Amino acid sequence: MKGIEYIIDDQGEKTAVVINLEQWGKEWESFYNLLLKQSFPSESWVHENSFSKKLDKALQWNHNHPSQLSNLDSLETQLLNNE
């Protein structure tokens, strides 16, 4: 299938798959949601639309705001100078 590639081990067994989300994104989302529902049937909060929207919003924010590294020695010096 176009847009789907398999990772194969030394014995020729399929071990993973790479999916082109531009091409198969909607199908992947449907499959993933079904998998979540079957994996956590007693966890109804996971399946609530409001939770999914909040999670999507948080993931998008994290994607758009990569973490920043700080030099701890520099921060310590700044803190000590401000005391």
How confident is the model over 26-81, as pLDDT tens digits? 999 889 888 877 877 777 766 677 877 888 888 888 888 877 777 788 888 888 88
Question: Any idea where the domains of the chain sit in the sequence?
Answer: 4-81
Tell me which residue has tokens 């639309």.
Answer: 49
User: Distances in Å between the alpha carbon of 47 and those of 38, 59, 60, 64?
Assistant: 11, 17, 19, 25
The pLDDT, as a whole number, for residue 12 is 93
